A and B are shown apart, each in its own frame.
Chain A
Amino acid sequence: MESEDSDFIWLRLDGQKRLATENYVEGNTVYGEKLYKKSKIEYRIWDPFRSKLAAALYIGLDVFPITHGTKVLYLGASTGTTVSHISDIVGYNGIVFAVEHASRVARDFLDRVANFRKNVVPILQDARHPKQYFSVYGKVDVVYSDIAQPDQTEIAITNCQAYLKDGGYLFLVIKTRSIDVTQSPKNVIQSEMKKLQNNFEIIQDMTLEPYDKDHGLVVAKYHAKG
């Protein structure tokens, strides 16, 4: 069953199907994940309970535009769990601009992820002001946003307008509770999707059950226009 992909790999471990990425920094672990060696290549097991992108892959994504050499703008890097796997995938020719504004988590992020991974550029700033980012250049292929703010969708859109190339993809993690606690998660996702109408083509939307009860994911394709 070990289907292989260039981007990530499904392994069978202890009778269970597991997702993994090729370790960009050999021997290094980020959040206590297991390492696994197969034909001399070291992989890091990617936990769907810890990373929403992994959860989405378990559930099934229609498109996965992140591969070798992809440029990604990642909003809400936190301690870098998901960023580290994306860094694994995009490899030497790719780059991950990782934005995080909370200095407490950024400390861990720098120590565990950014300092070791040459394809990760940490940006300790507020995602609300994308024009202020330092060290970012050019356009990116993918914007991944997971910032758990009430105006998370608007923030993601401004970032796309500033940095996402035409035809690029937005992965928008929607924290269903922080927007409006009185709404059901499905309704929240629906109303956030409406905000994307103008500039995006929705490719897919999902809730992340059973891995994560409070989040949904929307994947959309960007069509830059005035």
Chain B
Amino acid sequence: MYFVIVTELGIVVSQNNTVSKSFAFDNPASEFVEAKKGNLKNNSVINYLRELNAGFFISDDALLKALKKESLDVQIMDEKQMDEIQANKPQVLVDAGFAKNIGDAMSKLRDFALSLSASRVTEVSQSPDLHIIQAINALDEMDVMINGLSSRLREWYGLHFPELDNIIDSINGYAQIVMAGNRSSLSDKVYQDAGFPDSKVQMLSVIQQKSKGGDISQENLAIVQSIARQILDMAKARNAIESHIESQMNVIAPNVAAILGTAVGARILAKAGSIKKLATLPASTIQVLGAEKALFRALKTGTQPPKHGILFQHPIVHAAPRWQRGKMARAIASKAAIAARVDVYGAGLNQTLLDKLNVRVTEIGEKYKEPTERPPQPQREGHHDFGRRDDRRDRRPRDRDSRGFGRSDDRPRDSFRNRNRDDRPRDSFRNRNRDDRPRDSFRDRDDRSRQGFRDDKPHQSFRDRDSRRDGFRSRGESDGPRREFRGDSGKRKKFGKRRF
């Protein structure tokens, strides 16, 4: 009987503890991984074994199967043998001629470990789902920045032309007007170019005459305009990101995209970490992704567990009456779990998933027409102080990317945040920001941007948010913000001249 051993540096064939022949890998990191999958780079090993025409003990399952297919007489090596090889691996490598001496074998094994680890890191960084995750986080962060800057723009330019704030709801429209200069240089043409309908243009020119705003110096105006330009540029970039996410999601995770929509799907993906990880999650976990804080609190104190996390942003859940939302979220989550698995196997879009979901959604809608009573919430004593700091500590490396100004989905709710303020690590970025900021302006800004960004509120896309504002201010531009965000190149070119 012969032994066939797969080592990090090559394949060894031996008999009675003496090496009969060894086959060194040219590129150990990749050939080892392949051999472990049963793929041999060339046929020299198989040819040799055929020549020997004997029985073989094989050290590796996958290789065993591959050799069986070649109708060689093979069986798996017993555990003891394998342990012995493992214990003497450096010596085995020396005997095989893969290394000069024990020290050389050890350093070759380390080199192998370094290059295999490095290639795994590279491989993972190339996977397209990681890029989607970066994109969706970037999108959310840009929304926060655009909203923040836009509020500032309204405040500042508002000293000069206060009436504009109430009339122009769209972020882009406002910024475009500011780009035209001070009040006296605003003309009907400016308003028209910014995409406003005639009725609004008329209203604007009337109000412009009677404005109660003060003068603005050229210096100040230049700064305000630079802010406006930033907003326009960022809005353009964020829309490009959004359509990129849309198309990428449809390529990489078409089923998840069909069930959850591209944006919500991407956020769920980001929470899970990768499409593979998402595919391993049970539906019950997917249902509450993004509501971890509430979940832990529920487990600790015995209060109601959350019904949905990120899924609350799903239009079906969001539009459902309160008492149906949990059920909708569950139905969606269970289909999303299947969808992720189908996507991992790259099986393409499966229409029945979506059809079944729609059936279930209608069913829930009919079955639970009436509001249900909320059960009383039991109160139980909990341990209040364990578990938090580390949670953050563990996330630190990943967090660094997403932390900063952006909304991150795992940000605790406000009340929670305040309660915990003291046990946060002093040096955290978030903390530092909070402390350095002037209190009231921070709160101001936060309140404004929070309107659309509370964890428990649905995430509204940039466009939605605008139209919502239109809604409650009841003075919306009839052509809606959609057109404005799509922009048209003519307009952009015109403003392009003003670039620094």
Contacts and interface: CB of A to CB of B under 8 A. Distances in A.
- On whether the two chains bind one another, the answer is yes
Main secondary structure of the interface of B (DSSP, over half): helix
A214 B86 contact: no
Interface string B75-117: 0000000000011111000000000000000110110111011
Contacts of A105: 397-398
Contacts of B434: none
Given A78-B397, A118-B110, A137-B109, A110 B389 contact: no
Given A213-B386, A213-B389, A214-B386, A114 B397 contact: no
Given A124-B121, A137-B90, A213-B385, A104 B113 contact: no
A123 B107 CA distance: 14
B2 interface: no
Contact of B296 (A121, A139, A181): A181
A213 B383 CA distance: 12
A52 B386 CA distance: 16
B32 A121 contact: no
Nearest to A181: B299
A121 B87 CA distance: 16
B216 to A, nearest CB: 46
Nearest to B390: A214
A175 B390 contact: yes
Interface string B374-390: 00000000110111111
A114 B114 contact: yes
The contact size tier of chain B is 35 or more
Contacts of A110: 114, 117-118, 121
B386 A122 contact: no
A16 interface: no
Contacts of A121: 109-110, 113
Q: Which of A95, A123, A214, A215 has the most CB of B within 10 A?
A: A214
B125 interface: yes
Interface string A73-88: 0000011000000000
Interface in B147-169: none
B135 to A, nearest CB: 16
Given A182-B300, A185-B386, A213-B386, A122 B86 contact: no
B394 A148 contact: yes
B222 interface: no
B124 interface: yes
B430 to A, nearest CB: 18
B66 to A, nearest CB: 18
B390 A135 contact: no
A161 to B, nearest CB: 11
Interface in B366-421: 382-383, 385-391, 394, 397-398
Nearest to B396: A79
A135 B110 contact: yes
A101 to B, nearest CB: 10
Interface string A119-149: 0111110000000001111110000000010
Contacts of B32: 134
A104 B397 contact: yes
A177 B390 CA distance: 9
A207 to B, nearest CB: 10
B387 A181 contact: yes
Contacts of A139: 87
A56 to B, nearest CB: 15
A103 B276 CA distance: 14
B469 interface: no
Given A108-B397, A213-B390, A214-B387, A123 B117 contact: yes
Nearest to A208: B390
A107 B398 CA distance: 12
A104 B270 CA distance: 14
Contacts of B343: none
B390 A182 contact: no
A19 to B, nearest CB: 19
B356 interface: no
A109 to B, nearest CB: 8
A115 interface: yes
Nearest to A108: B397
B470 interface: no
Given A176-B386, A181-B387, A134 B397 contact: no
B272 to A, nearest CB: 13
A139 B296 CA distance: 40
A123 B113 contact: yes
A69 to B, nearest CB: 13
B120 interface: yes
Given A137-B86, A181-B387, A122 B394 contact: no
21 contacts: A103-B125, A107-B125, A108-B397, A110-B121, A115-B114, A121-B109, A121-B113, A123-B113, A134-B116, A135-B8, A137-B87, A138-B87, A138-B88, A139-B87, A148-B394, A181-B387, A213-B385, A213-B388, A213-B390, A214-B389, A214-B391
Interface of B: 8, 32, 86-90, 106-107, 109-110, 112-114, 116-118, 120-121, 124-125, 296, 299-300, 382-383, 385-391, 394, 397-398
Minimum-distance CB pairs A-B, first 10: A177-B387, A137-B89, A214-B390, A135-B113, A103-B124, A124-B117, A135-B109, A122-B117, A181-B299, A121-B113
Given A135-B8, A213-B387, 15 more contacts: A79-B397, A104-B398, A105-B397, A107-B125, A108-B397, A110-B114, A118-B110, A123-B117, A134-B8, A135-B113, A138-B89, A148-B390, A175-B390, A185-B386, A213-B388
